[in-house]
Structure 1
Amino acid sequence: MLVLLISLRSTICFEDTSPLIFFTTYKTQPEPIYPDYVSTTLSGHAFQSFVRSSIDCKSTFYIIALQPGLHAEDLKHDAMPSMKMSLNKAEEKLVIPYGYGGMDLDDVMEYIVEKCNADRILIDAQSGSYPLLDGSGKKVLYVQFPPLKGPIMERWDLLKHHDVFLHYLLSSFPYGSEYTMIYVSTPGLTMAQHRDISTDMPPVVPLKYNPKQSKGLFSKYEFFSEGVYMIWMVLLILFPILVIALMAISSIKISYGAFELKKDVIKKNK
């Protein structure tokens, strides 16, 4: 019962959250901000600010991959072997299993394009094809995968397929090319048509979080952070143990006659 209660509380607190992943194949600065960092929760706005501050234009390719419907539980299994391998090799990374709140991907793309004078390229993940990518100039690649739906095994099969596609995309880069990966997911997105990039390129579809969409519990209460939540979880586990221990101690009965010598024994000793 206690385990079920804890699982229910965890589900409620982390509902409407989704993973946020950022990593690079090189060190962005001598003292990296997050050389190998994994946090529990972070707002989309804070993650977006971190991404913008980490753009130094040293990467030849910037990949922005969107996987709607991804959950933190999906990261704990072998549904994304290529992504895990890339994360293990990354020089710097930031992994947020439970991201929440608003994030404007179009703003991130525009920032990279303007700062690094990069070209924007839309990758059609559904067709399974992508253009020939060379190392001439900076490029921002936007990849949107179909949402994950259905039973968990179907979700993982689809996620593995997307992971393989992303692996082949990264493998198509010229040898030795540095790249930055921005891999995000969200349960609530609104889609809007973006202005044409060029006359011979299809428009990129920017995606934004819906500010009216319900967010996780941590985003609703200012003084209820993941740290406070973990403290309550520990107390919830320890309190029943303490009650059981006190009940066990109080149930111990010792006969006072055990400490009294019988009268005949006393007389005999006399």
Structure 2
Amino acid sequence: MNPRQLLLLALGAVAVEGFTDTSPFVLLSTSDFPSSSSSLKSATSLLSDVWEKLKTCPSDYYIVASQPGVHAADYSGRRAAPRLREKVLGKDKAIRSNVTVTEVAGVLDPLAIGNGLRDECGAEVTEIDASTGSYPSDFGKGPRVIYVTFPALPLRDQRAQQLSDNDGFLSDIIDRIPSSKYSLVYTTSPRESEEGESTSVTYNSDDIKDQEYLHQDLKRDFGEFARQENADSNQSLFDKYQFFSPGIFMGAIALFVLVGILYVGISALLSLEVSYAAFEKDTTPGQKKQL
């Protein structure tokens, strides 16, 4: 799979039976640091990885956007978040680093990232409530953390339109940043479904063809792990663990041979019988040798 396809999948092209309690994450920056993309990651692990990249204070401005009530499927359409999509796909040449996770298990707290930047980088904080439709005309000098909080998407209709409007609002804020060095932390939280609401979504087959195979492999791995775990729980202690390995067996044989040799040697020494007189000097006068 080439990098272009991976970035496309990471932005939101998901399998039909994707995880319903996960949501995507995107980190974009005009600074250089290792880029990576993955399909599934825990919020705790992701927060640690993101902080490792941002704790060096690589930017002057940090836009920390929070979009609640979404799923990766909401970004599968090309019109859902077109400006963010272009940045993720590498069409914005100013973006030099990209970290995308299609599905984050758990909720990543954007305040944890902002507070860390405030304490570590001495960044000032600006909060923007996107539901008001307005933001400051001047963001001040950097370093600065700009919190952008979007309202949750509606559960049924107008989800794509609302997401597109939020994308345009975020793009306007980025365009007004008075510096070319910025990082965008786009966090989301999983959507909540109403009682009786169908969670099925219509997908673009061209966008999600490769991701279907990815999720099938992922679910297969989880299923095999669960079956193995259930099988192990019904086994006895000696069936689950190997207490007598080949290494231990060979060591025991070698030890037996060495102990046998030692026993024979000690037995041979103890069997020697020598009289005390053998060690005394013979003082008996003998006959002189005749020439």
Distance 1:62 1:226, change over 3 A: farther
Q: Which string of whole-angstrom CA distances, capped at 9 and with x for unpartnered residues, describes residues 114-157 of structure 1? A: 111000110121111111335622110111101011335x1000
Cα distance in structure 2, aligned partners of 1:184 and 1:144: 10
- Give 2:155's match in structure 1, choosing from 150, 166, 171: 150
Q: Counterparts in 2 of 1:227-246, with a 5 A limit? A: 228-231=218-221
- Give 2:96's match in structure 1, choosing from 83, 91, 96: 91
Q: In percent, how many aligned pairs have the same letter?
A: 29
Cα distance in structure 1, aligned partners of 2:131 and 2:52: 31
Distance 1:227 1:64, change over 3 A: same
1:74 pairs with 2:79 = no
Q: CA RMSD in A?
A: 2.6
The alpha carbon displacement at 1:228 in A equals 4.9
Equivalent position of 2:116 in the other structure: 111
Contact 1:148 1:159 in 2 (8 A): yes
Contact 1:41 1:97 in 2 (8 A): yes
Query: Tell me, what secondary structure is at the counterpart of 1:111?
Result: helix
One-letter identity of the residue aligned with 1:179: Y
Cα distance in structure 2, aligned partners of 1:73 and 1:124: 25
Query: Tell me, what secondary structure is at the counterpart of 1:136?
Result: coil
The alpha carbon displacement at 1:230 in A equals 4.1
Contact 1:41 1:226 in 2 (8 A): no
One-letter identity of the residue aligned with 2:72: A
- For structure 1, which runs of at least 5 residues remain unmatched after alignment? 1-6, 190-224, 234-270
Equivalent position of 1:167 in the other structure: 171
One-letter identity of the residue aligned with 2:48: S
The alpha carbon displacement at 1:169 in A equals 0.5
Q: Counterparts in 2 of 1:177-188, with a 5 A limit? A: 177-187=180-190
Distance 1:226 1:181, change over 3 A: farther
One-letter identity of the residue aligned with 2:187: V
Cα distance in structure 2, aligned partners of 1:104 and 1:143: 13
**TM-score normalized by structure 1?**
0.61
The alpha carbon displacement at 1:187 in A equals 2.3
Contact 2:66 2:110 in 1 (8 A): no
Contact 2:20 2:71 in 1 (8 A): no
Equivalent position of 1:38 in the other structure: 37
**TM-score normalized by structure 2?**
0.57
One-letter identity of the residue aligned with 2:38: S
Equivalent position of 1:128 in the other structure: 133
Equivalent position of 2:279 in the other structure: none
Q: Which string of whole-angstrom CA distances, capped at 9 and with x for unpartnered residues, describes residues 17-37 of structure 1? A: 001111111213xxx2x2xx3
Cα distance in structure 2, aligned partners of 1:188 and 1:150: 8
Query: Tell me, what secondary structure is at the counterpart of 1:160?
Result: helix
Cα distance in structure 1, aligned partners of 2:51 and 2:216: 25
- Give 1:137's match in structure 2, choosing from 142, 145, 149: 142
The alpha carbon displacement at 1:163 in A equals 0.5
Cα distance in structure 2, aligned partners of 1:47 and 1:188: 19
- For structure 2, which runs of at least 5 residues remain unmatched after alignment? 1-14, 193-214, 224-291
Larger radius of gyration: 2
Cα distance in structure 2, aligned partners of 1:232 and 1:147: 31
Contact 2:117 2:145 in 1 (8 A): yes
Equivalent position of 1:48 in the other structure: 47
